[in-house]
Amino acid sequence: MNERDLIGYGKSPPKVRWPGDARIAISVVVNYEEGSERSLLDGDPHHETNNEVPSPVPPDTRDLLNESMFEYGSRAGIWRLLRIFDKHGIPATHFCCALAIERNPEVGKEMVRRGDEVCGHGYRWEEYYAFEKEEERASIIKTLDSLERTTGQRPVGWFTRYGVSVNTRDLLSEIGGFVYDSNAVNDDLPYYTTIHGKPWLVLPYSIEVNDARFWRGGLASTEDFYSYMKDSFDCLYEEGEETPKMMSVGLHCRITGRPPRSRAVDRFLQYAKGHPGVWFARRIDIARWWLENYPPSS
């Protein structure tokens, strides 16, 4: 990993041109993790502790209520979100845990049928920062093999729970076949860093314009989430008249796949589509556009 870059584009961000001279590129991301979280059934020493509702269930005892919260995402939530995307004609990128797709392959097939992007999100929903380097390498390769087998699409992007380890980008570069990663939240535009002496493309993600805040705090209502997405859009769209920007929207099937919260997503997509100069794109489309039009040499 490189040293930190606290400067970035500074006071003069590049005046990029998106397709159609759009002011803003919007990347809608669905995190598909259901069935890959910690589980005693899968041999983990404790059940998943990342819950919307604090659980009194002992760690070494199955938490059936929490399991069912995750199951909602794969049984109902993902389909509701995909219907909303179909309604608005919106493409999406899916951060896919490979085991989750193995356990519900119909979802993977539907993602590809829609023309969406399958992005690597680890074999399971686990913390790669805690992995030894070779353990992480093996898991990345296992993830790629699994997702290519279940979806027919070999991921060329990468994002994992709580971001990269100090080895992740080195490993992605060594394994090869990747176009970008999204393991950063430090800018409003793609940028290059250097790995093994070569340029490496990063498409920043967002953990604030993200429905996970319903679980960890910061969002109390669907109106809160809609307003947050709208205000983010309004700011970036206004700035985009001079210096076009990129906006990421992070969703989870078990969170905004729920009926009331899904309405915030529906309303926001309708609002953003009501503006000229908005490009809804998969992350791979943004990455390829950037590489073609703003190569490292520029």
Locate the domains of the chain by residue range. Answer: 19-293
- The pLDDT of residue 1: 55
Range list of H helices, 89-167: 98-102, 105-113, 133-151
How is residue 178 written in tokens? 């990747």
Classify 193 as helix, strand or coil: strand
Contacts of 25 (CB under 8 A, 6+ apart): 18, 244, 245, 246, 247, 279, 281, 286
Contacts of 28 (CB under 8 A, 6+ apart): 85, 90, 91, 92, 93, 249, 251, 269, 280
- The pLDDT of residue 229: 97
Low-confidence ranges of the chain (pLDDT < 50): none
- What topology is assigned to 19-293 in CATH? TIM Barrel (3.20.20)
Distance (Å, rounded) from C-alpha 228 to C-alpha 278? 18
pTM, full prediction:
0.95
Distance (Å, rounded) from C-alpha 128 to C-alpha 74? 23
Are the beta carbons of 121 and 253 closer than 8 angstroms?
no
Cα of 225 vs its chain's centroid, Å: 17
Closest of 162, 246, 167 to residue 207, by C-alpha: 162
- The pLDDT of residue 2: 61
